[in-house]
């Protein structure tokens, strides 16, 4: 690589001609001293430069704009708030980004999975499957024998009712005992566990319209490792929303700890919806919520009527027109992040 240093002031019109002449003489790998380094830009491509905003990157020197990370990828550099990225990174299995210009990949929520790298949206678990933790990868977990799940996007499976059984995994419903009205232990895994004559078995075994498991009747068996909806979700007061709370076990496996009622119209860390841990840079989560306190370069920000409102940004940055984020200010004017195609 050859570095050329120019003394004095160059006009914008003379730079291309000079670079062409140098390229012909010295080869293609040229960096002009004073040009913006990778991960930054300016109106002229020369110093002083501004770091690429989180979610944008620039692999080359001397550029006048940054490139938005494509959907399914993210871009975060080592600068403040993740600015200054020189490349984009594909989202790993179990994570996704739904739009271009994302600074971090969001974790697939429970009840869904993100198969392979570069996912742009979570895929709901199909009937007969469930996912009770965030970040499921290739596929959701099949419901075990003795259980069923008829809904898409489930986080648990239901036990088969008395009078029903299931001798297969990944089933959307249970089979009725051979003898009509015969009973069985809740969660029966074979027809042999049904009684030989009618004795009070249930006539139906379906989930409610709200997705709750049916009253099984009978006594539960100990054989199937069925996942029950045992986390209570209370009805929240008017004007608030029930948002899930997640924890992590000693092995790093996530689990649903419970729910809390959140005023999403005014809550700074769950503004407009349940932000969970999917809003690391103040980006909207799958539920539409934002963690306003995580917006890069924001010094004074609040949540008003479900929207993040930036009042003040750090030096060198100004609020966007909708006051939803901060962008760099170059030469007294707001620098617009332009997407290159």
Alpha helices in 141-202 (DSSP H): none
Classify residue 128 by its DSSP letter: T
d(CA 227, CA 213): 11
Q: What is the pLDDT of residue 107?
A: 92
Q: What is the pLDDT of residue 334?
A: 36
pLDDT above 90 (res 66):
yes
pLDDT, mean of residues 119-136: 92
pLDDT band of 117, cuts 50, 70, 90: very high
Q: Which residue's structure tokens are 């198969």?
A: 115
pLDDT, mean of residues 300-313: 92
pLDDT above 50 (res 230):
no
Q: Are 70 and 83 in contact (CB under 8 A)?
A: no
pLDDT above 90 (res 282):
no
Q: What is the pLDDT of residue 253?
A: 44
The β-bridge partners of 302 are 309
Q: What is the pLDDT of residue 90?
A: 97
What are the residue boundaries of the structural domains of the chain, listed by start? 2-82, 108-225, 228-336
pLDDT above 80 (res 15):
no
pLDDT above 70 (res 330):
no
Query: 39: which residues sit within 8 A by CB, 6+ positions away?
Result: 51, 52, 57, 58, 77, 79, 84, 85, 86
Average pLDDT, whole number, for the chain?
80
Say whether the peptide bond before residue 48 is cis (omega within 30 degrees of 0).
yes
Could you give the percent of the chain with pLDDT greater than 90?
A: 47
pLDDT, mean of residues 31-49: 89
- Read off the pLDDT of residues 132-145 as tens digits, 9 standing for 90 and up: 889 888 789 999 99
Q: What is the pLDDT of residue 277?
A: 57
Q: Which residue's structure tokens are 């092995």?
A: 251
pLDDT band of 3, cuts 50, 70, 90: very low
Distance from the Cα of residue 228 to its chain's centroid: 25
Could you give the percent of the chain with pLDDT greater than 70?
A: 76
């Amino acid at each position: 690589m050859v570095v050329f240093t120019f003394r004095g002031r160059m006009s914008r019109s003379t730079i291309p001609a000079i670079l062409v002449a140098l390229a012909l003489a010295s080869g293609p790998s040229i960096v002009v001293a004073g040009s913006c380094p990778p991960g930054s830009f300016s109106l002229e491509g020369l110093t002083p430069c501004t770091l690429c905003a989180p979610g944008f990157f620039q692999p080359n020197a001397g550029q006048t704009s940054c490139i938005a990370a494509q959907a399914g990828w993210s871009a975060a550099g080592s600068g403040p708030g993740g600015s200054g990225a020189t490349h984009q990174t594909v989202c790993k299995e179990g994570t996704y980004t739904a739009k271009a210009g994302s600074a971090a990949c969001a974790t697939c929520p429970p009840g869904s999975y993100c198969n392979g790298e570069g996912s742009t949206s979570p895929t709901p678990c199909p009937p007969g499957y469930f996912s009770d933790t965030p970040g499921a990868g290739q596929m959701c977990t099949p419901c075990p024998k003795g259980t069923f799940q008829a809904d898409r996007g489930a986080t648990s499976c239901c036990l088969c009712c008395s009078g029903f059984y299931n001798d297969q995994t990944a089933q959307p419903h249970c089979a009725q005992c051979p003898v009509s009205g015969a009973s069985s232990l809740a969660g029966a895994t074979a027809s042999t566990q049904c009684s030989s004559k009618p004795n009070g078995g249930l006539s139906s075994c379906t989930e409610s319209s709200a997705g709750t498991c049916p009253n099984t009747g009978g006594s539960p068996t100990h054989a199937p490792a069925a996942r029950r909806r045992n986390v209570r979700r209370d009805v929240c007061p008017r004007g608030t929303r029930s948002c899930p709370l997640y924890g992590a076990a000693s092995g790093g496996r996530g689990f649903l700890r419970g729910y809390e009622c959140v005023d999403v119209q005014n809550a700074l860390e769950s503004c407009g919806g349940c932000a969970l841990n999917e809003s690391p840079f103040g980006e909207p989560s799958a539920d539409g919520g934002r963690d306003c306190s995580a917006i890069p370069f924001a010094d004074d920000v609040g949540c008003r009527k479900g929207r993040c409102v930036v009042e003040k940004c750090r030096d060198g940055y100004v609020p966007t027109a909708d006051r939803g984020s901060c962008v760099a200010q170059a030469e007294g004017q707001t620098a617009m992040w332009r997407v290159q195609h």
